[in-house]
Every structure is written in C-alpha cells, then in structure tokens.
Amino acid sequence: MADRVVIKERVEIDPDNPVPEFDMPHTKAFAAVARREEHGDLIAYVCDPRIPFRHDDIDSVRGMTGSAMMRFVEWGVAVWAPARRRLPILVYERPQGGRVAKAVSDVQEPMNEDRIVRGFLTPAVALLRDLSTRGVAHRAIRPDNLFFADAAKKVMALGDCLTCPPGLYNPAFCETIEQAMADPAARGRGGVADDLYSLGVCLIFLVLGRNPIHELGATEMIERKINLGSYGALTAGARIQMNMMELLRGLLSDDPRERWSIREVELWIGGRRLTPKQAKLPSKAARSITIAGRDYENVRSAAEGLARNWLTAGEMLRGHDFDNWVRRSLNDDKVVENVNKVLGNHAALQGAPESDTPRLVTRACMALDPAAPIRHKGFSAHIDGVGAALALEFDRDDVRQKVSDFINGRFVGLWMSLQARTRSDLNELYAIYDKLPMILNQTGPGFGMERVLYALNPHIHCRSPLIEHLYVTRIEELVPALERAASAKDRGGRPMDRHIAAFSVARSPDVDERFVRPLSGTDQTGTGHVLAALTLLARVQAMTKSGPAPALAAWFVDLMKSSVNGFANLKQRKAMEQSVTRAAETGLLIELQNIYGDTKAVQRDQQGYARAIQEHQHCGAQIQQLSIEIQNREHMASELGEQVAAVASGVIGSIGSTAIIIVFML
C-alpha cells in the first residue's frame, strides 16, 4: 500500500485509488482530497513524463470559476511511489456526473437544443471568453473530454487541458483543417478560433448523439473537409435543425475570418437568428493537377497532396505542368505572387540542385497554402508546436532527424512573411529559430538536438538518464538533483551528459557557451572532461545558490583522482589531497574547481619533475664518474703523491736547513 502523496500541503492523493473513468489517453487519474479548503471530491492527473504539460498556462487557468470546465485546484511535482520517481501531478475538482462520452465513436441519445444551449453552449462560451481574456486557449475540446458537472447531468464541463500539449489528443475531425494537417503533437498553441471550431464539432456530436465520420482516417478527413467544407464533412448529410445549422455553419467555417467569434455565438444564444450562410468552398482550378497519380482540383488539396508525396513531387514541381497550373488554371493572383516570392520563376526552379527538392516541395506547399502548417519531409508542424513534437518523441531517431531538417531548412521566416495576419507572439519564437541551425550543427555537449529540445520547451524537465526520474525543470534544482544522484549507491559514470549540459545552457543566463565548449574535447574519458563538467556545475551551483553538495563533490573527487595522482611531486600531491578532502567536505564545487583548475600548479609540477629527472640523471653521471675515479685512484695517487712527496721534502728540508743554520749561528 503506497503512502498518500501530498501536493503543497493542500491536496492528498491516494495512489491506491485510481479513477479510470477520468483517465486521459496517456494520463491516469487518481482520487484525491483537499486538506483544508472546502472542495468536493478531487481527481489528480499523474502526468506521463514523456509528454510535456502546459506549464505556461497553469497560472492562467488557476482560479477560474464557473461550471464549464473542471475547476483546477493545484499542481506540483511529487514523488509518485508506484513509478518510483517524481512526476507532475495536476489536481482538479471532480465533475459529479461522469463522462459524457467514453469515446468519440460512442452512440447516445441526441440532446435537444435547449439542453445543449443551457447545459453546454452558454457556460462553454463564457469559459472561452474568460480564457480568451487570459490569453489561453483550451485546445482539448472533444466529445470524449466532456463531463457532466452535476449529478443530475444537466450541465456539461470541459475536461482537463493542461496535461498535454494543445490539441494532442484531439482527433482530426475535432480540429480545423490547418490544425488537423499538423502532426498531433505539433499543433502549437492555437487560439480561441480553434476552440470555437472544436466546440462546433462537439455540438454536432451532442445534437446527433454520434459522430458520423469517426471511422475516417485523418488524411481522408482532411480531404473531405477541404473539398466539402467542414460542416458538410462533419455532418455527413445528417439532418440538423435549422437554427442549430446557423450556429454550426458559423462555428465550422473553414475560413478563420468568417468563423463565428465568441461575440457572435453570444448573440446567437441571446436570440439573434440569421439565415445560415452557405459554406465557402475553395475555388476549383480550371483543370485539375495530377500529383502522384491523383488529381487535385483546388490549391489547398494540391498543397496537401504535394506535402504527402514529397518524395516524388519534385519532378512534377520542376515540370511545366505545375507552373502552367499555378499561373493559368488557378486564377488566384495571391497564390501566383506567393509562388513567385518563395520559389522564383520556372527557370530558377529547374536550375535548383536535386538535393534541394524537399525544400522546394516545402516552399511550394507554403506558397499554395500559407495558413497550413509547415510541411517538410513528412513532418508537419506549426512553428510553436515543434518543441512539443520533439519532446514527445525525442528518443526516436527519425523524429529528431525530421526536426533537424525542419530547423536547418530555415522556413520560419519565409512562412511568417506569407501570413496574412501578423502574430506578435511568434516574433520571439522566430528569434529562437534563427539561432537554432547554428546550435544544431555543433555536435558537442551543450549543443545539438538536446539544446534545441530545451530551447523550444522552456519548462520541460531535464531528460538526462541520471536525473530524469527527479523531474528537474528549473536550473536551481539541477545541483540538488545531481547531489541526490551522487548519493545513490549504484551511481556510475559521470555527473554530466549531453542533456545536463544543454539544460544548463538553455535554462541559465549565467551559463554561456564558454562553459560547455570544453566538454567537446576529443578525450571524453580524461580528467579534462571531468574538469569541464566540474567547472560548469560549479558555475550553476554558485549562480543559483543551490547550497552545498558534498556527495556530488565526493563524486568529482573520485573522478579526479587520477588528476591528483598525476602530480609528480609527492609532497604537493599529499597537500592537494588534503585540500581536496577539505573542499569536498564543504560541498562547494567552486572550491574543488579552484584546486583542480589551477593549471599553473600543474605546469610548475611538470617543469619541476623535468628538472628533477635531469638533476637525478646528472647526479647519476657524477657518481659514475667518481666511481671511475675511485677505480683509478692508484694511478692518480702515485702521480699526485710524488708531487706531494717532492713538495713535502722540499718544505721539510727548507725548515730543517733553516733550523740547522740558526742552531750553528747561536
């Protein structure tokens, strides 16, 4: 039996009490209770660590009142015993009436207009207005994410929208054409217009009691929506009451400019009734164009066909047929202008090298359908959705390659220049994309795809295998997490990898590329690499003031043993060992770094060692010389001895003679 998990002293979650009826596709729900406040029953969503949750939007959703959405209560990252790791947990008030539909394929009793308007549409539109003023879109409005807010099942509420990227679990039929074209994880933040469209899809489900086209695949769904219009495709000929038809046609308009706004829906709820507008279908070309054996009659479906057949579309794109079709059959000056802008004239197209074909296809798709996501080599993404797509499937080589190609293609600026509306929120993102190719094309730690991952996902946790289970999202948590990893009995390797390096640079303004470049050295196993890692983490620890980390310091001491042993001077080595031990006990990595990073000491030691060898050799040579001298002592002694004897005799004789003379003179 697992202990209850407590979030910020406010909520207790029971891991032994799952609530499967509230599960999201990849997120399990568990029963929870509030500790102090008066909340009803709560449910806690324990997030899948692979799936980035909407951290940015939590504060906006917090404190929202009204019954149109499950009320958000609290969130936190906590140790989730069943998974033996830390996980983000989001807590909501539990809707009393359960789920409206368990799956999008469910068939149920159709609801009457009055019940739908009172119980769903009115509160939902009020909610969307509230969200809109807070700058947030729900982006998880779909039939199987609707709940009855009350036990009497009169009022319906939208379910959770924070546990996954916007629109991730929305089936293609719930999404606008532009959003449905994008890979589910790469749909981007979207906006209230997307929510209103999804609201329209839910209304059809409630009105009809079923989804007539739930069995269709995404590709076919998109094709139908383009060719028939969303309303026609989604209702599939089913009978809709006239007054509801007006609302649905307004909400499901494929032209965002014509789609009903919140205000128009509110007016409709207030009783304004107009003649339903006919769906505005894309204008057909004078003749169809054949792409990969299929004929396409309008520009949007042709762009979609090009994107799907990017491997074979190059030849067609370079041919005269495409140029003629665009310039003569489409009869759309805007498209011709776009094509001229991004592809140039036909001669330029033909002159482009073969290797540029995928880029040309991408550019052609952008020119034909600027509102669509950027589609490159089978990867289809809105520019604010690339980060989530990468985070979701980072372990897959093919996804990393697709994202890499997408970034290196430098399509973002061009795509933005083609947009009819300028979105100021994308300017910041454009600045990031502008720098990414340079970062991506450097292979060392702190660069590459890992850095792209953290640059595009400002709140994602560090994916290093060493600390992934600790769910570190902020730079301040990095050193304490590594300290915990260092305290583990089975620690191995090094407290540094590509993820930690990239996370540090991306998250901390105080850690720039000077700190990660030394990690790129050719010798990834030597002490130089460990010292670079120590320098980086010492910087992080110092700048984040994250407190002492003695176990981590001890780990570094272990790794740097060979560096200390590398000191030839035994006294200095001993002194260094002592100072290293003292520094490690403080847990301050900067202290260790100061010791190990003293290159002058190393130089002095090396020079001293060289001098010592030289002196030892010199002594040896002298000893050898003297030994030879000892062996030849007899010869030297006889030579010198005779001289000494002559001198001694001379001296003695002189003294003796002088003494004799003196004696005789006295």
CB under 8 Å to 520, separation ≥6 — which residues? 442, 443, 444, 445, 446, 447
Nearest-angstrom CA–CA distance, 452 and 506: 9
Q: How far is the CB of 514 from other proteins (least distance, A)?
A: 28
Tell me the window of 15-23, 232-240, 247-255, 622-630 that interacts with other proteins (CB under 8 A). Answer: 622-630
Among 570, 599, 600, 666, the residue binding other proteins under the rule CB under 8 A is 570
Radius of gyration of the chain (CA): 38
Which region among 18-26, 181-189, 509-517, 608-616 touches other proteins (by CB under 8 A)?
608-616
Q: Which of 373, 427, 636, 666 binds other proteins (CB under 8 A)?
A: 636
SS3 182: coil
Residue 645 in the binding site for other proteins (CB under 8 A): yes
Which phi and psi (to 5°) does residue 332 adopt? -130, 105
Given the structure tokens 């039929």, which residue do they identify?
A: 173
Are the CB atoms for 367 and 400 separated by under 8 Å? no
For helices 478-487 and 498-507, give the axis angle rounded to 10 degrees: 160
Q: By C-beta, is 263 or 633 nearer to other proteins? A: 633
**Structure tokens of 434?**
């502008």
Burial 150-175 (b: 16+ CB within 10 A, else e): eeebebbbbbbbbbbbbbbbbbbbbb
Q: Which is nearer to other proteins, 348 or 623 (CB)?
A: 623
CA-CA distance, 626 to 609, in Å (whole number)?
25
Only one of the segments 123-131, 202-210, 537-545, 628-636 lies at the binding site for other proteins (rule: CB under 8 A); that segment is 628-636
The yes or no reply on residue 575 touching other proteins (CB under 8 A) is no
Q: Does 654 bind other proteins (CB under 8 A)?
A: yes
- CA dist 326 and 509 (Å) reads 48
In the complex, the smallest distance separating the C-beta of residue 528 from other proteins, rounded to whole angstroms, is 13
Number of Cβ atoms within 10 Å of the Cβ of 625: 10
Among candidates 413, 603, 443, which has minimal Cα distance to 522?
443
Q: How far is the CB of 658 from other proteins (least distance, A)?
A: 10
Binding other proteins by CB under 8 A: which of 565, 578, 581, 594?
Answer: 565
Q: Per CB under 8 A, does 1 bind other proteins? A: no
Q: Report if residue 608 touches other proteins, rule: CB under 8 A.
A: yes
- The answer to the question of residue 286 lying near other proteins (CB under 8 A) is no
**Contact call for residue 633 and other proteins (CB under 8 A):** yes
Q: Among 449, 523, 637, 666, which residue interacts with other proteins (rule: CB under 8 A)?
A: 637
- Contact criterion met (CB below 8 Å) for 387 and 412: no
648 binds other proteins (CB under 8 A): yes
Q: Which of 105, 427, 441, 649 binds other proteins (CB under 8 A)?
A: 649
Helix (H, G, I), strand (E, B) or coil at 86: strand
In the complex with other proteins, the residue whose CB is nearer, 331 or 617, is: 617
Between residues 242 and 652, which has the closer beta carbon with respect to other proteins? 652
Residues near other proteins, by CB under 8 A: 562, 565-566, 568-571, 606, 608-610, 612-613, 615-617, 619-620, 622-623, 626-627, 629-630, 633-634, 636-638, 640-646, 648-650, 652-654, 656-657, 660-661, 664
